[in-house]
Amino acid sequence: MINPSCAGFSLISASRQDTTETLRQIKVHNDTYREICRKQGGNDGR
């Protein structure tokens, strides 16, 4: 079954202006996205 989240979301890029907490949240999001979408060949699920 294909997870529709992979089509609606992608990796988030960090900015130099991001706080430590924002960087942590970006990492969690990107790690989760990769775990879910790499199995399905999702967008940029490296």
Q: Are residues 23 and 31 in contact, defined by beta-carbon separation less than 8 angstroms?
A: no
* Low-confidence stretches of the chain (pLDDT beneath 70): 1-2, 40-46
Which pTM was predicted? Answer: 0.73
| 44 SS3 class | coil
pLDDT at site 40: 67
pLDDT at site 8: 87
pLDDT at site 27: 99
- Ordered alpha helix ranges (H), 1-46: 5-8, 20-37
